Amino acid sequence: MRMGIMSETWLQTARRVLPNLVRLSRQIRPTIHLSSVSDICLEQLNREGIKAILWDVDGTLMAHHAGRVDPSIAGAFTALLRATDLRHAIVSNCQEARAAELGQMFPEVPVVLGYETKVGCVFRITRDVETKWWSPDHGRLFGKPEIVSPIRKPSAKLIESALVELNMSNEPEAVLLVGDQYFTDIVSANLVGVRSAKVPTMKQSSFPIPVKLSQQLETILYRLKYGRPSFGWLEETKIQHTAED
């Protein structure tokens, strides 16, 4: 059953990405490549005017469906969470059960999921054990609407919803999305004008085989297009919108 749920998740992502591969491949360039979440320092964020971070979780902060932030980056991550004036949200392509786990793991950080429903697109925001549903068209919803399909990265809508939650809709360039995948995390950031940091996938061996393959393939595609990336904050890294058009 669990295997079935995981398969469904990657299949849904594949269905969204594959038909649009050529168009999306123009949006895979991150603002910056970092070799680890530990390389994100507050001073640099302040210099770049970053006020909020959108986090991918699996592969970025921990192994696939792990129960806690990987010890190798836990200190750096906690320091960012504790920083005053820095807002955070989690944008994950996970299922609801995993979102509930993440809500408990990061009680102070909203976890944003999106769905197409009979009443249009609707977002589920989990903060700790509390869940609220809202829609850009109808505002706050009371009760779970009938879901047609999930909205997943690389959807611009999902990121826009996180910006609404963080009150950052008017300044997407002051938001940094941190993720490990080009065709989900980085594309969705570029589609919205949010800046992005690409980190290597953490504990790649923990992922289901199709996901592992897609991670390896997209790395090859990126290198064919842009060459081997340089890691770290570069001279005038002035993080900026890096999509081609």
CB of 180 to Mg ion, least distance (A): 4
Q: Is the dihedral of CA 128, 46, 153, 216 positive or negative?
A: negative
CB of 106 to Mg ion, least distance (A): 15
Give yes or no for residue 218 binding Mg ion (CB under 5 A). Answer: no
Which string of x and - marks every residue 161-190 that binds Mg ion (by CB under 5 A)? -------------------x----------
CB of 41 to Mg ion, least distance (A): 22
| Residue of minimal Cβ distance to Mg ion | 59
CB of 140 to Mg ion, least distance (A): 29
215-218 CB contacts, 8 Å cutoff, 24+ apart? 215/59, 215/180, 215/181, 218/28, 218/181, 218/182, 218/183
Q: Which of residues 19-48 bind Mg ion (CB under 5 A)?
A: none
CB 26 within 8 A of CB 245: yes
Give whichever of 56 and 165 is closer to Mg ion, judged by the CB atom.
56
Give whichever of 169 and 204 is closer to Mg ion, judged by the CB atom.
204
Q: Which residue from 30, 59, 103, 110 is in contact with Mg ion, where contact means CB under 5 A? A: 59
Give whichever of 58 and 165 is closer to Mg ion, judged by the CB atom.
58
DSSP strand pairing (130-135 vs 120-127): antiparallel
Give yes or no for residue 58 binding Mg ion (CB under 5 A). Answer: yes
CB 47 within 8 A of CB 190: no
CB atoms within 10 A of CB 80: 18
CB 55 within 8 A of CB 178: yes
Give whichever of 61 and 122 is closer to Mg ion, judged by the CB atom.
61
CB of 112 to Mg ion, least distance (A): 15
CA distance readout (Å), 146 to 91, 113, 118, 129, 142 = 21, 15, 6, 21, 12
CB of 49 to Mg ion, least distance (A): 25
Q: What are phi and psi of 174, to 5 degrees?
A: -95, 15
Give whichever of 53 and 122 is closer to Mg ion, judged by the CB atom.
53
Separation between Cα atoms, residue 81 and residue 156, nearest integer Å? 24
β-bridge partners, 113: 124
Give yes or no for residue 56 binding Mg ion (CB under 5 A). Answer: yes
Q: Which stretch binds Mg ion (CB under 5 A): 10-18, 52-60, 156-164, 192-200?
A: 52-60
Contacts of 29 (CB under 8 A, 6+ apart): 186, 190, 226, 242, 243, 244
CB of 7 to Mg ion, least distance (A): 16
Q: How many residues bind Mg ion (CB under 5 A)?
A: 4
Contacts to Mg ion by CB under 5 A: 56, 58-59, 180
